[in-house]
């Protein structure tokens, strides 16, 4: 009996020493786990459970804690990134980064539409959004995809969304070095500038037509006299 008792004690001591310090979680060093009654999932401790998910009491959205969720009352949904880093624009009807607080151009319900490139609804998307100079919103990765195809105008209003002055300067040189034949000396065309919205009558050129008001080449020919601005397919050259 004594030998059996000693063997039992030795076995228990071995189990106690087995893997000491290798078990547990970041909160506790222990060789057991818990099954939580609320979700029937297994966690290292109650703190691990509390850190695994957060559920908004207002909209019931469940998300990972690491995303720094916050609930926007005006939007009516939870967003990620930390409430201290964003502000809600009442006219645009959505949350923007604080970096845009005094610089963005307001467009009513700017994010309540599909991305003009991939057609995903922007208001509740989880992907990064950027606001163009014209105020329209689009996925950041969609803008990068456009740039890979040398598209630098907003798909919605066709306005240039970045500084194109260097490109216009190169086009000035191209136009100057490509004279037209005499038969086109007096040929005039009406153009509409996508950047400033001005209609103008200019000399025809096979390469591009420059807006005399803002010096942009982001223009398109129109038929007849001055035309009102309307979105269409960009023909920027």
Query: Is the per-residue pLDDT at 12 higher than 60?
Result: no
Average pLDDT rounded to a whole number, residues 50-73: 74
Give the whole-angstrom CA distance, residue 30 versus residue 35.
15
**How confident is the model over 184-215, as pLDDT tens digits?**
888 999 999 999 999 999 999 999 999 999 99
Is residue 219 within 8 A of residue 194, CB to CB? The reply is yes
For strand 62-63 and strand 70-72, is the pairing parallel, antiparallel, or unpaired? unpaired
Distance CA 56, CA 69 (A): 9
Does the CA dihedral 116-122-127-133 come out positive or negative?
positive
What is the structure's pLDDT at 145? 95
80 pLDDT above the threshold of 90: no
Using alpha carbons, list the distances in angstroms from residue 160 to 116, 128, 163, 196, 235: 15, 21, 8, 10, 12
Average pLDDT of the chain, as a whole number: 82
If you average pLDDT over residues 95-102, what whole number do you get?
89
DSSP state letter for 62: E
Which range is least confidently modeled, 93-97, 143-147, 229-233?
A: 229-233
| Alpha helices, DSSP H, located in 56-198 | 140-148, 165-176
Which residue stretches of 86-196 are H helix?
Answer: 140-148, 165-176
- List pLDDT tens digits, range 138-181: 999 999 999 999 999 999 999 999 999 999 999 999 999 998 88
Per-residue model confidence (pLDDT) at position 234: 38
For residues 164 and 162, give the distance between their C-alpha atoms in angstroms, rounded to a whole number: 6
With residue 190 as reference, give the H or E element that holds it.
strand 188-193
- Give yes or no for a contact between 213 and 198, defined as CB atoms under 8 angstroms apart: yes
Amino acid 232: pLDDT: 33
Pick from 63-72, 112-121, 194-203, 215-224: least confident: 63-72
């Amino acid at each position: 009996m004594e030998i059996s008792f000693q063997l039992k004690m030795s076995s228990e001591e071995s189990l106690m020493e087995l893997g000491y310090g290798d078990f547990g979680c970041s909160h506790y060093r222990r060789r057991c786990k818990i099954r939580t009654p609320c979700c029937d999932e297994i966690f290292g401790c109650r703190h691990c459970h509390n850190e695994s998910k957060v559920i908004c009491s207002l909209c019931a959205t469940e998300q990972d804690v690491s995303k720094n969720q916050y609930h926007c009352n005006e939007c009516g949904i939870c967003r990620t990134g930390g409430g201290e880093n964003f502000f809600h624009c009442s006219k645009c009807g959505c949350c923007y980064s604080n970096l845009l607080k005094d610089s963005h151009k307001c467009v009513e319900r700017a994010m309540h539409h599909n991305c003009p490139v991939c057609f995903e609804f922007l208001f509740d998307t989880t992907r990064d959004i950027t606001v163009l100079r014209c105020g329209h919103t689009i996925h950041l990765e969609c803008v990068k995809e456009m740039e890979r195809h040398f598209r630098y105008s907003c798909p919605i209003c066709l306005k240039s969304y970045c500084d194109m002055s260097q490109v216009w300067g190169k086009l000035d040189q191209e136009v100057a070095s490509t004279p037209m034949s005499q038969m086109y000396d007096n040929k005039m065309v009406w153009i509409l500038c996508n950047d400033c919205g001005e209609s103008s009558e200019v000399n025809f050129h096979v390469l591009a037509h420059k807006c005399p008001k803002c010096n942009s080449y982001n223009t398109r020919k129109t038929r007849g006299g001055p035309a009102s601005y309307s979105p269409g397919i960009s023909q920027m050259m």
